[in-house]
Structure 1
Amino acid sequence: MSETTGQVSRVIAIEEHAWTPELRAALLKFGGDETITTWSNQETTNRRLLDVGEERLARMDAMGVDFQVLSITAPGTQQLPPELAVPLARDANDFLADAVRRRPDRFAAFATLPTPAPEAAAEELRRCVSELKFVGAMLFPRTGPNYLDHSSFRPIFEVAAELNVPLYIHPGLPLQAVRDACYSGFSSATNLMLTTGGWGWHAEAGLAALRLTLAGTFDRHPGLQLILGHMGEMLISFADRADALTKTTNLERSVLDCITGNIYATPGGVFSHRMLRQNLDVLGPDRVMFAVDDPYKSTLGQQGKAAFGRGFCRDFIETAPISAEEKSKLAHLNAERLLRI
């Protein structure tokens, strides 16, 4: 199909989640993340997270998504003890690899990494990319009290740079002390939403990427690429202001240059054309890719085909106030280039 009319021939979604029964059980046992309890208790969401087969494929078709990059949902194995995180991450990655082997025409995968054991995490990234042919990894902002810029995690970034694969930084919960100080004082439902999808999650992910920049990650690895979901996790919209940090550092490049040269963004479930336009304005059309945040946006997908004929994801892309070329890059070309899929 010609894409000059604004209709796109392929839609690739790259923030699409799953988990395993063993990981779910461990996360519930160790607690500390109410979202895990919520998702586990929602029968439909839990079932969809566990499924990487026919139900998921049918949901993709209804949404108008041709191809998913699978990833283990937040917080992965990052908040577990090292002795559990390492085998559970390996098992979860093998689970994703099996899904890709069965349907390479519909799936690729990001690795989940056991960051409580950083050296093991780096080796798991190497295994996943070199042996399982994963296209990168998904990380979450913190492991215990330490953000991703902590020196102990540098082996992970060294391997990613060596293998030339991107790292997707997904939101995670703020520290409890921050939650108590900044995200409390309302009803329990409002507190949780303020902590997560209403604000706190996204501030955490954007901060993690900014801290990596300030820590000289891109000086050490100029070609390393990060991906931020949810329209850039606040960092992209604040990039010009964040550049003021440059004069306080000894970075080889400005903060703004790092943001616009080493970071990609996706909608990640935020279906806002005006936020999309801002991402394109800041990053340029070559650095914005599509993502759904499946299965958390799946109810839209179930309604989408009836409402729009081609699925709500295609409708969002094809009705965006951007050029046909920009639509094609958003829908699939940028992901094909960066992830080599």
Structure 2
Amino acid sequence: MVVPSFSRRRALGSAAAGVAALAAAPGFSPARAEAVPARRQPAPSGTYRIDLHAHVLPPDYRAALLAHGHFTIGGYPTPTWSPDEAIAFMDYYGIQAQALSVSDPGVSFLRGAEANDLARYCNDYAAQLIRTHPSRFGAFAVLPMPDIAASIDEAIHALDTLRLDGVVLLSAYDGVYLGDPRFEPLMIALNQRRAFVFVHPAAIPADAKPELPLPDFMEEFTFDTTRAATMMMVTGTTQRYPDIRFQLSHAGGTVPFLSHRISVASQTVLGELWPQDLPKPSILDIQHQISRFYFDTALSGFPAAMASVLAVTSRDHIVFGSDWPFSAATLPQTGDHDPAPGLSEIFDADQRMEVERHNPLRQLPRLAEAVNA
């Protein structure tokens, strides 16, 4: 079976596929050579995967995006989405369930009551989808950010009443990154609920980034995830709210690669300028904080990315993500229906089962109960 939308080969998708191929090119020398099998190992069989980076575009939400000029997301043409397409995709690629989330720009292109109503619509839509297909879908709630008071109300409704599996936050809102003191009241509410928070990158405004002929999803998205993670660490957010579990998109952006540079910042001249009201992180502290993040495999299921993640955290902090439907043009269509064959270049079958199933289910107990019923 071939899902119809998979055949849409766009130029941008082909470019991303080329970048992904480079990550798996011969000659790659990982930091932990002993963790990489000598040759590709077989993947587990069956429909077992749990996808923690998958997107939903409810009908009215997609219509609102287009009405406000969002014809592309991160440089990728705004895709269509339906429950039937999602289930067909999952069946084709051996995915048992997806935890759905609204991608960039969330509902932040609206303000006030319009943003509140659209967030509530998306979350109610997701809750109904879970009721209809309890073993196939979970969801992370979208919040009407950057309105903190309204976002707290919506988070409480989504987590306590709708029983969604967590929330999705963008890396920044109006140029203000996660970790900023303005977000403290929301973090308090999420920490009280021991929430799972999926951090998704946001597009940088055109007047705040270099003019390059590259779509945001290729590089800028990874950089913005890095900025958000770094700000949450250096401002103490990840220390003050240890019961929030943060999932970083796309293998954490460049966090693993920059982990040492981030950790030594306070030991340089910057340490002399460190604000007195913020904890001054040490090298070991930053390394510990990085190790506590969860890193998904979306568009990153290759030795170069995974070896970097394994250098900063343990395997139980890696979770599977497909980034569908935005990744539709780059997913392999092979006889074994493996959505991330590059994972078998660094993980054996048991390890892939851990990354692609056990780790995600440990973080989302409601979904675990539903898929194991």
- How far is 1:26 from its partner? 3.1
Secondary structure at the counterpart of residue 137 of structure 1:
strand
Q: Say how many residue pairs are matched.
A: 314
Q: For residues 263-305 of structure 1, what are the alpha-carbon distances to aligned partners after superposition, in whole Å with 9 as ceiling and x for unaligned?
A: 110111233223112212221111001000001222455x63x
Q: 1:308 maps to which residue?
A: 335
Q: 1:149 maps to which residue?
A: 179
- Which residues of structure 2 form unaligned runs of 5+? 1-40, 369-373
More displaced stretch, 273-282 vs 58-67: 273-282
Distance, in Å, in 2 between the alignment partners of 1:268 and 1:164 is: 24
More helix by share: 1
Q: 1:337 maps to which residue?
A: 362
1:308 corresponds to which letter in structure 2?
A: G
CA-atom RMSD in angstroms: 2.4
**How does the TM-score come out when normalised to structure 2?**
0.77
Q: 2:321 maps to which residue?
A: 291
Secondary structure at the counterpart of residue 206 of structure 1:
helix
Q: 1:17 maps to which residue?
A: 55
Mapped pair 1:207 → 2:227: yes
Q: 2:26 maps to which residue?
A: none
Q: 1:140 maps to which residue?
A: 170
CA pair 206-107 structure 1, distance change in 2 beyond 3 A = same
CA pair 300-207 structure 1, distance change in 2 beyond 3 A = closer
Distance, in Å, in 1 between the alignment partners of 2:359 and 2:266 is: 28
CA pair 233-38 structure 1, distance change in 2 beyond 3 A = closer
Q: Percent identity?
A: 22
Q: For residues 192-222 of structure 1, what are the alpha-carbon distances to aligned partners after superposition, in whole Å with 9 as ceiling and x for unaligned?
A: x2xx122111111210111111111122112
Distance, in Å, in 2 between the alignment partners of 1:15 and 1:234 is: 18
Q: 2:243 maps to which residue?
A: 223
CA contact (8 A) 2:139 2:164 kept: yes
CA contact (8 A) 2:98 2:138 kept: yes
Structure ranking higher on relative contact order (CA contacts 8 Å, 6+ apart): 2
CA contact (8 A) 1:28 1:36 kept: no
Q: For residues 203-245 of structure 1, what are the alpha-carbon distances to aligned partners after superposition, in whole Å with 9 as ceiling and x for unaligned?
A: 1121011111111112211232211111211112211221112
CA pair 32-67 structure 1, distance change in 2 beyond 3 A = closer
Distance, in Å, in 2 between the alignment partners of 1:308 and 1:325 is: 21
Distance, in Å, in 2 between the alignment partners of 1:172 and 1:314 is: 24
Mapped pair 1:62 → 2:92: yes
Q: 2:15 maps to which residue?
A: none
- How far is 1:101 from its partner? 0.8
More displaced stretch, 327-336 vs 5-14: 5-14
- How far is 1:32 from its partner? 7.1
Secondary structure at the counterpart of residue 347 of structure 2:
coil
Distance, in Å, in 2 between the alignment partners of 1:56 and 1:230 is: 20
CA pair 117-133 structure 1, distance change in 2 beyond 3 A = same
